[in-house]
Amino acid sequence: MMKATSTAKWKLVRFAAVAILLAAAPLVMSLARAAAADDSASSREDAAIKQVIAGFSDGWNTHNAHSMCASLADDVQWVNWRGEPLGSRQAVEDEHAMLFADLYKNTHRTDTVKTVRYLSPELAVVDDYWTMTGARKRDGSDWPYRAGYTNMVMAKRAGRWIVIVSHTADFNATAPAGK
């Protein structure tokens, strides 16, 4: 009698386990599909953000300040590598047009996006490492190689990623004379 009861219990446990697995399978599949869709959406957004950075680099490398600034918000909060704040896209464009006509006219910049962190679906923090060749210092001497880091906050507005905050550091920067 004991053996029959034990066997019946095991059959019931096995039946319950199979029923639970069958009931849970659609939920597991749905969660896997949702995770894959999230990964795909993130990949598309990452690619769009990297394209913004590539457009910035292209504008830099053609020494076209207007093109370089196309991805900046009108009211961008920009801090250059010297720690000087600029509060508009036009101010950033004007400064770079002046630099491209003089100290940066032979420069080439390479940008590499290291991380993209989403604060929301329409707000991202981007870490970009850059290198530059061909610059000159304010005293006219060559500045053959520079490297640095830019941290940006980007917002998705009207379906397009734009830079709303940008802070740049230059790893090779030296203090101005007398400081």
What DSSP letter does each residue of 12-64 carry, written as one string? HHHHHHHHHHHHHHHHHHHHHHHHHHHHHHHHHHHHHHHHHHHHHHHHHHTT-
Residue 107 CB partners (closer than 8 Å, separation 6+): 60, 61, 63, 100, 132, 133, 134, 135
Residue with the bigger pLDDT between 66 and 21: it is 66
Which single residue is written with the structure tokens 């101010």?
Answer: 91
31-45 pLDDT tens trace: 545 554 555 568 899
At residue 2, the pLDDT reads: 56
131-177 pLDDT tens trace: 999 999 989 999 999 999 999 999 999 999 999 999 999 998 766 66
Torsion angle in degrees (nearest 10) through CA of 152, 154, 160, 162 = -50
- Output the pTM of the full model: 0.74
The alpha carbon of 39 is separated from its chain's Cα centroid by a whole number of angstroms, namely 16
- The amino acid sitting at 67 is S
Burial class (CB in 10 A: 0-12, 13-18, 19+), 92: buried
